[in-house]
């Protein structure tokens, strides 16, 4: 026989809720016995010794707090399959609050609910009990059938009520346990920040590795082929001197194009993650950038030890972008680049004597720079009054 949903619904999951409440009651009874120790010998009589007893009780509970927390966590896992996240500390006032207040209160509610279940079950089955009575007794009580009907109805209502109560209490218990026994909001946030920091570092590393891979692929692949082609064309130019003028022109043109393609590809690769940076560090890589800049660039690099690859890459990018901006916008006569470490900070300063007025929110270049710097928790600042000079200062945290 199928029981309609509206009749059956309230009992769905009630079994597990009851099991949770019952085990809760058991755990609290255990705790109660432990707490009752100071009162075993008739209990303290004076107020002062009462206080001592209360303090001792709380102390016992506090000492047992990690154990109790473990038990409660096991209870929720076994009965409901709910995993309560592990808090950062094994002891806290919040956890104690659960064991002293929320836990016992809910256990009390749970005990009453269990009683309601029992009483309602007995009431709902009144007819069964009635039929078990001797016939004379039944006959002596006129109208027993009607009263038994009331009792049965009340019992059934009690069963529904108990089911609802069980589930509500179980829900309350779960919520209280998660809130009090699990990590606090601050701990959760801390954990989250840690995770995010870690995953961001991972993403950065992956991006760096990817850039390096592309650099290597381009270098080993396309660039070698282009160089080889340019060499062949150059050889043709040198050796095939008796070709008609037109043919030599074509070869000449192709040779020039190939060399330009090599130069473009080299520039592209340098923008990604130059091999010199990986092999030889910032000093060598930056002197390459400074040398290629179309204006005089003073370069001072003072690094006793090499920073982490991600930091090196960002510092390189900063100088490269900043100098590109100087060339594009500043109309400067010269620029100066200074890179040094100051107590766990890698300081990069790019100065130019140009017209100033650079707006960090205006172009994509400076905004991209700031973003790249922020990705390693660095700070970016620019001072560029109209008329110059422009000073870009970047501080990157690096382990000393």
Partner 1 sequence: MRAVIAEDSVLLRIGLVKVLETAGFDVVAETGDAEAVLAAVEEHRPGLVVLDVRMPPGFTDEGVRAALVIRQQWPDTAVLLLSQYVEERYAADLLSGDTRGVGYLLKERVADVEEFIDALRRVAGGGTALDPQVVSQLLLRRHSDPLDRLTPREREVLELMASGRSNAGIAEGLFVSESAVAKHINSILAKLDLPKADADHRRVLAVLRFLGVG
Residues that bind partner 1 (CB under 8 A): 219-220, 224-225, 227-228, 230-232, 234-235, 237-239, 255, 258-259, 262-263, 266, 274-276, 279-280, 284, 287-288, 290-292, 296-299
Nearer to partner 1, 138 or 259 (CB): 259
**Rounded CA gap, 71 and 107, in Å?**
15
**Rounded CA gap, 249 and 252, in Å?**
5
Cis amide linkage into residue 389, ω under 30° from 0: yes
CB 233 to partner 1: min, Å: 8
With b for 16 or more beta-carbon neighbours within 10 A and e for fewer, the 239-277 pattern comes to eeeeeeeeeeeebeebbeebbebbeebbeebbebbbebb
Q: Is residue 363 within 8 Å of 347, Cβ to Cβ?
A: no
Nearer to partner 1, 258 or 358 (CB): 258
List the end-to-end C-alpha distance of the chain, in Å, as a whole number: 76
Contacts of 216 (CB under 8 A, 6+ apart): 275
CB 372 to partner 1: min, Å: 22
**Rounded CA gap, 180 and 96, in Å?**
8
Q: Is residue 306 within 8 Å of 299, Cβ to Cβ?
A: no
Strand 297-302 and strand 335-342: pairing?
parallel
Strand 297-302 and strand 390-397: pairing?
unpaired
CB 383 to partner 1: min, Å: 23
Nearer to partner 1, 41 or 279 (CB): 279
Nearer to partner 1, 167 or 255 (CB): 255
Nearer to partner 1, 89 or 225 (CB): 225
CB 71 to partner 1: min, Å: 58
Q: Which residues pair with 382 in a beta bridge?
A: 392
Tokens of 300: 């001072």
CB 197 to partner 1: min, Å: 32
Nearer to partner 1, 171 or 237 (CB): 237
CB 89 to partner 1: min, Å: 49
Nearer to partner 1, 44 or 234 (CB): 234
CB 181 to partner 1: min, Å: 55
CB 259 to partner 1: min, Å: 5
**Rounded CA gap, 185 and 174, in Å?**
17
Nearer to partner 1, 162 or 269 (CB): 269
Run of H or E residues at 155: helix 144-181
Q: Is residue 315 within 8 Å of 348, Cβ to Cβ?
A: yes
Task: Residue 326: count other Cβ atoms within 10 Å of its Cβ.
Answer: 26
């Amino acid at each position: 026989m199928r029981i309609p949903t509206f009749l059956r619904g309230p009992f769905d999951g009630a079994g597990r809720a009851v099991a949770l409440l019952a085990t809760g009651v058991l755990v609290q009874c255990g705790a109660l016995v432990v707490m009752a120790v100071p009162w075993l010998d008739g209990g303290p009589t004076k107020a002062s010794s009462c206080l001592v007893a209360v303090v001792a009780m709380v102390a016992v509970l506090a000492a047992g707090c990690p154990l109790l927390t473990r038990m409660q966590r096991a209870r929720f896992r076994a009965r409901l399959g709910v995993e309560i996240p592990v808090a950062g500390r094994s002891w806290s006032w919040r956890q104690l609050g659960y064991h002293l207040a929320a836990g016992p209160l809910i256990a009390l509610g749970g005990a009453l609910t269990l009683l309601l279940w029992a009483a309602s079950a007995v009431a709902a089955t009144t007819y069964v009990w009635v039929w078990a009575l001797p016939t004379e007794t039944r006959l002596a009580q006129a109208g027993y059938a009607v009263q038994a009907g009331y009792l049965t109805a009340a019992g059934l209502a009690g069963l529904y009520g108990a089911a609802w109560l069980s589930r509500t209490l179980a829900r309350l218990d779960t919520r209280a346990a998660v809130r009090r026994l699990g990590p606090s909001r601050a701990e959760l946030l801390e954990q989250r920040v840690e995770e995010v920091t870690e995953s961001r570092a991972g993403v950065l590393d992956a991006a760096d590795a990817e850039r390096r891979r592309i650099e290597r692929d381009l270098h080993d692949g396309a660039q070698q082929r282009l160089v080889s082609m340019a060499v062949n064309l150059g050889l043709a130019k040198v050796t095939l001197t008796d070709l008609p003028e037109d043919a030599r022109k074509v070869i000449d043109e192709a040779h020039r194009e190939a060399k330009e393609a090599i130069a473009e590809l080299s520039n592209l690769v340098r923008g990604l993650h130059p091999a010199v940076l990986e092999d030889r560090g910032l000093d060598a890589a930056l002197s390459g950038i400074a040398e290629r800049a179309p204006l005089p660039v003073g370069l001072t690099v003072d690094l006793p030890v090499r920073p982490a690859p991600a930091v090196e890459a960002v510092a390189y990018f900063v100088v490269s972008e900043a100098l590109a901006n100087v060339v594009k916008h500043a109309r400067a006569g010269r620029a100066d680049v200074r890179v040094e470490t100051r107590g766990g900070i890698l300081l990069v300063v790019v100065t130019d004597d140009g017209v100033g007025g650079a707006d960090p929110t205006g172009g994509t270049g400076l905004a991209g720079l700031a973003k790249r710097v922020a990705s390693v928790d660095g700070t970016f600042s620019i001072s560029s009054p109209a008329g110059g000079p422009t000073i870009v200062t970047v501080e990157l945290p690096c382990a000393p």
